[in-house]
């Protein structure tokens, strides 16, 4: 079991993931607000999602921001549990960084040229790493029960 400050190393990937989430949020509003102000998208659309949808350049960051509250939630929970139980070892930290880098690559593709086949690779990698992190954590808990 890792003690003290070394345990906190796992928080750096969390900070990076939070930064990524806010960058996507900023991207969304840097696109959405000018569309609303120009009248190309009516504010009323956001009340009930009825009427003409916004253009793709607005929908991409909207969908991606929502995506950052799907699997990454399991990442945040796992990091919290790893800290509480002392499972935040260097391997867990490395896996956390791989998860975050893969999510950043996924965001980069999704918010730029948006080829589903290209963004699937980092998405699959991040999902597989997160699953491996959970399985490893489960093993850690079993070994200590």
Q: 29-67 pLDDT, tens per residue? A: 999 999 999 998 888 888 888 878 888 889 999 999 999
Q: CB–CB of 62/24 below 8 Å?
A: no
Q: Is 4 left (phi over 0), alpha (psi -120 to 50) or beta?
A: left
Q: What is the token pair recorded at 72?
A: 């990454």
Domains of the chain from N-terminus onward:
4-28+56-144 (1.20.120.550)
Q: CB–CB of 21/65 below 8 Å?
A: yes
Q: What is the DSSP letter of 113?
A: T
113 phi and psi, to 5 degrees? -85, -15
Instruction: Please name the residues in contact with 102: beta carbons below 8 A apart, sequence gap of 6 or more.
Output: 122, 123, 125, 126, 129
Determine the pLDDT at residue 4: 67
Locus of tokens 């939630």: 73
Q: Give mean pLDDT, residues 75-97.
A: 97
98 vs 95: CA distance, rounded Å? 5
Determine the pLDDT at residue 55: 87
Q: CB–CB of 23/73 below 8 Å?
A: no
Q: Residue 28 — very low, low, confident or very high, per pLDDT cuts 50/70/90?
A: very high
Q: CB–CB of 64/21 below 8 Å?
A: no
Q: 94-133 pLDDT, tens per residue? A: 999 999 999 999 999 999 999 999 999 999 999 999 999 9
């Amino acid at each position: 079991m890792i003690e003290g400050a070394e345990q906190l190393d796992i928080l750096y990937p969390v900070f990076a993931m939070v930064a990524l989430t806010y960058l996507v949020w900023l991207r969304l509003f840097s696109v959405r607000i000018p569309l609303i102000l120009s009248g190309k998208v009516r504010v009323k659309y956001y009340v009930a999602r009825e009427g003409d949808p916004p253009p793709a350049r607005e929908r991409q960051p909207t969908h991606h921001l929502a995506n950052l509250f799907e699997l990454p939630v399991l990442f945040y929970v796992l990091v919290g549990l790893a800290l509480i139980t002392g499972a935040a070892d260097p391997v867990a930290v490395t896996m956390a960084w791989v998860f975050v880098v893969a999510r950043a690559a996924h965001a980069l593709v999704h918010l730029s040229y948006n080829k589903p086949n290209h963004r699937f690779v980092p998405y699959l990698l991040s999902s597989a790493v997160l699953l491996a992190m959970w399985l490893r954590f489960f093993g850690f808990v079993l070994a200590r029960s």
